[in-house]
């Protein structure tokens, strides 16, 4: 008779089994079902239906729109991010430390809320800026129609450029300055040095940030849904949503969605392949260590104008849309002039205390964020330990599975979860809060693996070996030695997951039910239903919750690191 007491939770075999089980259940099965459902019908290969969906004019147009928008946002976001990164790291710009922090603010704010604000400002007929432009200044045409490719690209650029900004800042701060100084001594001008030396030096970081912008833009739902659908501009994620939403989630529509999802996955794979191909040439690998920082470039007469440019950009992209959200949320009726006599707090009171829909959405988002962060944090520790510390076959495949959702669009993850957990395989959690939780766990697993793996790399194997030599079981060694040492990584993983989950829209908009709306879904559906004032009020409340969470996180990390 098998004695269960001989099998302990801490054995390597069980840890490996748990890691495999988590990743297969939450990641591999949903993603594989996407491809299986797209290619197979009733147990037989069916390429006819797939070709039919892919050959439809709507599919072609949505893919073309996705590529146009992604290309435009990538170009503009890379240019803006690289310019401001150079400005705050390599020049004597005044207050550049504060400027660097302010340029990171858009990274913390949901882009679909920004899109809602710009819709209120630049809607062709009722946008406040366009109304002022035409009625007060006397122009016959609006300044900018936000319901256009240009409008969508500009709004997405405002919120995605930090991907390049962060990476280029880091590369410029680490860069060996001797080549630039040699060129300067040889008489080369600033533009020549920047074009021939500085940009090639940081090209890998620029390309890496540009890749992230391109992938996020390809998979972006919120901005295109807010600004594009009204003008007939659909990308692949919004087309998937429309097909499923119009058919009330029928399996025929879901299958169409899986075919469209394969287009996103293949496109993302091609983007990653292209980046690796470019970087593998190795001609840009000339960043080296240094013992001193690069000399600052003196802007001289341009210091004040460039500072004003930075402040104007921050005011235009952060302050103006944020103020618009709160002011419109306080209007008696949308479209009225923003004057004291037209303002009221009744909308905010209604959102927070009277309307069950929005109140439940807030608690759903907070609950989902906390639950997904806790579950994924602990699961990530187990999987990361197997990947980093255990000598077992197949751990490279585990790492691949864990990172897979990071490169797969959120709409693909949502469809995979629908296929896996809607009753076809014995478990039906569709239209419940649990299916959103499962999707969040899959979506954010990569964040936990990255944070916990980095922490585990710093724990020397001798510490666990010493504990085992002293008589501790594997589980005791993990509990008493490893977990306390990797606690900072666990905490980082928790907040890396909690904050994005709090403002998530792309996944939850395909999974929500009548009582399971999240904050993002509530804002989107209110706007879709024409409740612009309530949508703005809800967005204002969401911004307060998100910023408060960001501040608490920062203080928590500061307190933790000082211990």
Please tell me which residue, 101 or 8, carries the higher pLDDT value. 101
- pTM score of the predicted model: 0.83
Q: What is the mean pLDDT of residues 160-164?
A: 90
Spelled out in words, what is the top-level CATH class assigned to the domain 10-37+339-563? mainly alpha
Question: How far apart are the C-alpha atoms of 308 and 91, rounded to whole Å?
Answer: 15
pLDDT digits (tens, 9 = 90+) for 323-340: 999 999 999 988 888 888
DSSP string, 363-401: HHHHHHHHHHHHHHHHHHHHHHHHHHH---TTHHHHHHH
Could you tell me if 175 and 98 are in contact, meaning their C-beta atoms sit under 8 angstroms apart?
Answer: no
Give CA–CA dist 405/500, Å, rounded.
14
- Sequence-distant (6+) residues with CB within 8 A of 525 are 517
Q: What is the mean pLDDT of the chain?
A: 83
pLDDT value at 172 more than 90: no
Distance of CA 13 to the CA centre of its chain: 35
State residue 293's pLDDT score. 59
Q: Considering only residues 207 and 115, tell me which one the structure prediction assigns the higher pLDDT.
A: 115
What digits encode the pLDDT tens for the residues 380-437?
Answer: 888 888 888 777 777 777 777 777 777 677 888 888 898 888 887 888 898 899 999 9
Cα(354)–Cα(344) distance, rounded to whole angstroms?
Answer: 16
Q: 42: number of CA atoms within 13 Å, CB side?
A: 2
Domains of the chain, residue spans: 10-37+339-563
d(CA 150, CA 544) in angstroms, rounded, equals 29
């Amino acid at each position: 008779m098998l004695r269960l007491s001989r099998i302990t939770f801490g054995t390597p075999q069980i840890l490996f089994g748990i890691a495999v089980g988590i990743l297969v259940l939450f990641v591999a099965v949903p993603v594989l079902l996407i491809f299986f459902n797209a290619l197979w019908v009733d147990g037989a290969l069916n390429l006819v239906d797939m070709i039919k969906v892919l050959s439809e004019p709507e599919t072609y147009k949505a893919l073309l729109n996705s590529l146009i928008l992604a290309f435009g946002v990538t170009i503009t976001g890379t240019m803006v991010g690289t310019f401001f990164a150079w400005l705050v790291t390599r020049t004597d710009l005044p207050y550049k430390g504060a400027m660097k922090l302010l340029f990171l603010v858009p990274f913390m704010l949901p882009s679909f809320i920004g899109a809602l604000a710009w819709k209120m400002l630049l809607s062709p007929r009722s946008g406040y800026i366009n109304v002022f432009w035409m009625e007060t200044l006397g122009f016959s045409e609006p300044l900018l129609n936000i319901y256009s490719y240009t409008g969508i690209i500009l709004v997405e650029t405002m919120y995605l450029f930090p991907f390049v900004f962060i990476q280029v800042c880091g590369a410029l701060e680490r860069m060996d300055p001797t080549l630039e100084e040699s060129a300067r001594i040889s008489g080369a001008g600033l533009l020549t040095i920047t074009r021939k030396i500085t940009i090639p030096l940081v090209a890998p970081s620029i390309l890496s940030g540009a890749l992230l912008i391109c992938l996020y833009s390809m998979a972006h739902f919120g901005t295109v849904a807010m600004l594009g659908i009204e003008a007939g501009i659909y990308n692949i994620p919004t087309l998937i949503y429309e097909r499923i939403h119009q058919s009330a989630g029928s399996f025929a529509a879901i299958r169409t969605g899986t075919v469209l999802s394969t287009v996103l996955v293949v496109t993302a794979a091609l983007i990653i392949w292209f980046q690796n191909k470019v970087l593998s040439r190795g001609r840009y690998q000339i960043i080296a260590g240094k013992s001193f920082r690069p000399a600052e470039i003196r802007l001289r007469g341009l210091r004040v104008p460039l500072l004003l440019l930075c402040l104007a950009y921050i005011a235009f992209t952060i302050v103006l849309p944020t103020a618009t959200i709160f002011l419109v949320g306080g209007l008696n009726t949308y479209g009225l002039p923003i004057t004291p006599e037209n303002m009221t707090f009744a909308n905010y009171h209604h959102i927070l205390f009277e309307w069950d829909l929005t109140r439940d959405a807030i608690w759903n988002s907070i609950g989902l964020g906390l639950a997904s962060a806790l579950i994924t944090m602990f699961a990530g520790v187990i999987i990361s330990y197997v990947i980093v510390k255990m000598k077992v076959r197949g751990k490279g495949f585990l790492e691949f599975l864990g990172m897979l959702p990071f490169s797969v669009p959120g709409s693909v993850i949502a469809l995979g979860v629908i296929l896996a957990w809607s009753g076809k395989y014995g478990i039906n959690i569709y239209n419940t809060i649990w299916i959103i939780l499962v999707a969040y766990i899959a979506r954010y697993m990569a964040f936990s693996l990255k944070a916990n793996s980095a922490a585990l790399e710093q724990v020397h194997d001798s510490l666990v070996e010493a504990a085992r030599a002293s008589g501790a079981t594997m589980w005791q060694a993990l509990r008493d030695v490893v977990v306390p040492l990797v606690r900072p990584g666990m905490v980082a993983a928790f907040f890396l997951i909690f904050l994005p989950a709090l403002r998530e829209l792309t996944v939850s908009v395909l999974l929500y039910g009548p009582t399971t709306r999240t904050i993002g879904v509530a804002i989107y559906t209110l706007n879709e239903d024409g409740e612009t004032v309530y949508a703005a009020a809800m967005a204002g409340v969401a911004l307060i919750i998100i910023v408060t969470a960001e501040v608490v996180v920062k203080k928590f990390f500061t307190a933790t690191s000082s211990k």
